[in-house]
């Protein structure tokens, strides 16, 4: 099965289609999917759900899905990692969200459809999504505070429309790989906690088996996944913050400046300082 890997904290897309082009797949992130108009079937984790205008789906990373479009459909997708739910660095803090959000996202699909039964709430959700998409098109910034609070408002309306029932657990392998990926995201700033030796001990595997298991489930080696995610964070800091390269280096646990320069150039083929200059001049 195809697994889509997203290193960005947040991605937003809105589009209209008459044909679904993606294969059955799962992700390393959560997804909110809203149908503005159209009809068809959403094949989600072995179940089939008829969708229509104002249908809503929330997917956990272990879910696998695809759509069978029967009538031209307008979708909006909000795709975000667990780290996004827990706040963006030290800028924004969440308190009540952390306790229930994962449960909400995992269990909402077990509600009788439609999930949003209140017509006014469905209209409010659509209006909020329109604002989110407009803001995203303007900023393309995954750390945009306006978008962050709009998503909180969206989820708050969803939450009041459902009751969270007990749900069957995810398969052993899909649940475990999600747990490992979330642990990496949470501890990416600690070199020690993202080393293969520590991760193997943390999750009760031998280093050899963990490496094989991770690559089978994600299509990437464990080390590549950690490095690619760290690279994304570096680029994010360069693009959206005023952090100096030394501050970024210290934050992400590099031993010294030469280490981060060598790391960045090995992946991007360009000096990190030159990359920042190109960002400043809007050439990348």
Same domain, 152 and 181: no
Long-range contacts of 245-252 (CB under 8 A, 24+ apart): 245/272, 245/273, 245/276, 251/189, 252/188, 252/189
Region of 283 (left: φ > 0; alpha: ψ -120 to 50; beta: rest) is: alpha
Same domain, 242 and 153: no
Q: Is 11 domain-assigned?
A: yes
Per the DSSP assignment, residues forming a β-bridge with 41 are: 50, 68
* pLDDT tens figures, 114-155: 788 889 999 999 999 999 999 999 998 988 989 989 998 998
Compute and round to an integer the Cα radius of gyration of the chain. Answer: 20
- What are the DSSP E strand ranges found in the chain? 2-4, 10-17, 25-27, 30-44, 47-51, 56-59, 65-80
* pLDDT tens figures, 231-275: 988 987 887 666 789 999 998 999 999 999 999 999 999 999 999
Decide if pLDDT at 109 tops 70.
Answer: no
Decide if pLDDT at 93 tops 50.
Answer: no
Same domain, 11 and 128: yes
Same domain, 225 and 146: no
The CA-based angle 81-86-87, given to 5 degrees, is 100
Same domain, 152 and 14: yes
Instruction: Share the mean pLDDT of the chain.
Output: 85
- 8 A C-beta contact, residue 178 and residue 170: yes
The residue from 159, 180, 211 where one domain ends is 159
Domain that holds residue 223: 172-280
Q: Is 31 exposed, middle or buried (0-12, 13-18, 19+ CB in 10 A)?
A: buried
Decide if pLDDT at 105 tops 60.
Answer: no
Query: Which of helix, strand or coil describes residue 165?
Result: coil
Decide if pLDDT at 284 tops 70.
Answer: no
The listed range with the strongest mean pLDDT (48-62, 94-108, 112-126, 215-229) is 215-229
When pLDDT is cut at 50, 70 and 90, the band that residue 163 belongs to is low
Nearest in space to 217 (alpha carbons), one of 258, 172, 259, 183 = 172
Question: What's the confidence (pLDDT) of residue 1?
Answer: 78
**Mean of pLDDT values over 67-79:** 97
Q: Give residues with Cβ within 8 angstroms of 78, minimum separation 6.
A: 10, 12, 31, 32, 129, 132, 151, 154
Same domain, 182 and 139: no
Question: What's the confidence (pLDDT) of residue 98?
Answer: 46
- pTM (2 d.p.): 0.62
The domain tally of the chain equals 2
């Amino acid at each position: 099965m195809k697994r889509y890997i997203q290193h960005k904290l947040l991605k937003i897309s809105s589009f209209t289609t008459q044909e679904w082009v993606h294969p059955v797949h799962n992700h390393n992130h959560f997804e909110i999917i809203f149908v503005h108009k159209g009809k068809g079937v959403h094949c989600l984790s072995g179940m089939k759900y008829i969708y229509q205008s104002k249908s809503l789906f929330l997917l956990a990373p272990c879910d696998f899905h695809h759509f069978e479009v029967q009538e031209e459909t307008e979708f909006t997708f909000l795709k975000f990692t667990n780290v996004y739910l827990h706040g963006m660095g030290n800028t924004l803090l969440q308190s009540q969200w952390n306790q229930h959000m994962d449960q909400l996202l995992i269990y909402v699909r077990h509600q009788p459809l439609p999930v949003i039964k209140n017509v006014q709430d469905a209209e409010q959700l659509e209006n909020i999504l329109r604002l989110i998409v407009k803001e995203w098109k303007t900023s393309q910034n995954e750390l945009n505070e306006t978008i962050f609070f709009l998503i909180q408002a969206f989820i708050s309306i969803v939450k009041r429309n459902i009751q969270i029932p007990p749900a069957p657990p995810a398969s052993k392998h899909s649940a475990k790989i999600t747990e490992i990926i979330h642990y990496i995201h949470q501890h990416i700033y600690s070199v020690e906690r993202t080393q293969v030796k520590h991760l193997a001990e943390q999750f009760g595997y031998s280093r050899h088996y963990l490496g094989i298991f991770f690559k089978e489930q994600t299509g990437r080696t464990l080390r590549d996944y950690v490095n690619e995610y760290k690279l994304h964070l570096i680029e994010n800091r360069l693009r959206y913050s005023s952090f100096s390269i030394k501050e970024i280096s210290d934050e992400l646990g590099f031993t010294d400046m030469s280490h981060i320069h060598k790391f960045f150039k090995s992946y991007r083929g360009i000096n990190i300082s030159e990359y920042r200059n190109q960002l400043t001049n809007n050439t990348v």
